[in-house]
Amino acid sequence: MKARHLARLLRSLLLVGASGMLIAGCAPPPRQRAVVEVACDEVMGVPPPVRINRQVDLDAGAVLALRLCRTAGSGFVWEDPRVGDAAVVSSTGRAFETPSTVRPGAAGLEVLTFEARGSGATSIVLDYSQPWQGGQKGVWRVTVDVRVS
Report the candidate in 43, 54, 9, 58 with the shortest Cα–Cα distance to residue 127.
43
Structural domain including 60 reads 33-148
User: pLDDT digit string (tens) for 127-147?
Assistant: 999 988 999 888 889 999 999
Residue 23, domain member (yes or no):
no
Decide if 144 is inside a domain: yes
pLDDT tens digits, 65-115: 999 999 877 888 999 999 999 999 999 999 999 887 777 778 889 999 999
Q: Is residue 6 part of a domain?
A: no
Alpha-carbon distance of 4 to 9, in angstroms, equals 9
Torsion sign, CA atoms 89, 35, 98, 124:
negative
CATH code of the domain containing 82: 2.60.40.2020
Please give the Cα distance from 90 to 113 (Å, whole number).
Answer: 9
In a domain? residue 89? yes
Backbone φ, ψ for residue 7 (5° rounding): -65, -45
Total domain count, the chain: 1
